[in-house]
Amino acid sequence: METVGVVSTGIYIPESRMTSKEISDKAGIPLEVVEQKMGIKEKPIPGEDDHTAEMGIRAAKQAIEKAGIDPKNIDLVIYIGEEHKEYPLWTAGIKLQHEVGAVNAWAFDTALRCGTTIMGLKVAKDMMKSDPCINTVLLAGGYRNVDFINYQNPRTRFMFNLGAGGGAIILKNGHHKNEVLESHLITDGSFSEDVYVTTGGTKNPVTKETLEAGLYQLDVLDPPGMKERLEQKSMENFIVCIEKALDKSGYRKEDIGYVAMLHMKKSAHLYVLDQLGVSHDKSIYLENYGHIGQMDQIISLELAEQQGKLKKGDIVVLVSAGIGYAWGANIIKWG
């Protein structure tokens, strides 16, 4: 069986920034809480032209250039960005395919909130293994759910880290570098209606009144209840996904060379590393980026490459959690 490898990655980070001081002032919370507990020094926010799919297109063009491939040789485009995009009821993957010149590919959108990249890599690899016509896959998308944050709503405080950006990954069948190994995902629907935008769907359509009341923004309906049910389960599920993905790949926690982790509060980030027995320098804390959803793992990989943290033969773990709730991990054998 041919190996599936990561040929290249690409990221797009908007120039506009929101600092920890601005978050502190807007939310009325101490600066040290924003910086130390939430772990945010600054985060990118979208500029006027930084639309969701557009940011994915910019990242994809960078990944294609780095890979040195002809976009006509891409067989499949998977949109891994957010549902909140340029237009509702719109397949962003088809637009992305067109804009990068992947004229011989077909495209579709996929969604698992901040778990989408992890899930997308598994889907792409499985499709490549089962269909001999799919040899080169582009996964790309953008994220700007920061648009749904009301800094005066303390119920959504754990989402004050949301930012904006785009990411892309190119996979190739028979590529013997950066081999994509196995994955493990967990979803738990008991949390499916804990965090969502209450207005704008079929249950509560948008009206003048709901817009004026700010009900188009993200909300948490029962914060203490969710925290109580989620806190321990979430940390356990992170570890389970990583351990099972490693086991399926023929490795153990002791083999981990780098962890590309989503941005979350500093204590949670360090807890996961400590539970794995991984030294803190084998991961990058995204305090200057905040949480750019499912782009975090791609950003972390690029930063690790730039900082020389990825060595040939390293076992790299990509790990995420997404509202809904979903947890997932992929294993990549680097180099």
Going residue by residue through the chain (335 aa), what tens digit of pLDDT does each one get?
Answer: 689 999 999 999 999 999 999 999 999 999 999 999 999 999 999 999 999 999 999 999 999 999 999 999 999 999 999 999 999 999 999 999 999 999 999 999 999 999 999 999 999 999 999 999 999 999 999 999 999 999 999 999 999 999 999 999 999 999 999 999 999 999 999 999 999 999 999 999 999 999 888 899 999 989 998 988 888 799 999 999 999 999 999 999 999 999 999 999 999 999 999 999 999 999 999 999 999 999 999 999 999 999 999 999 999 999 999 999 999 999 999 99
The reply to whether the predicted model has a pTM over 0.95 is yes
Q: Is the distance from CB of 288 to CB of 35 less than 8 angstroms?
A: no
Q: Which residue has the tokens 């960078």?
A: 62
d(CA 78, CA 137): 7
pLDDT at 1: 63
d(CA 82, CA 330): 20
User: How far out from the chain centre does Cα 200 lie?
Assistant: 24
Question: Can you tell me whether residue 4 is helix, strand or coil?
Answer: strand
What secondary structure does DSSP assign to 53-87, as a single string?
A: HHHHHHHHHHHHHHHT--GGG--EEEE-S-SSSSS
User: How far out from the chain centre does Cα 158 lie?
Assistant: 16
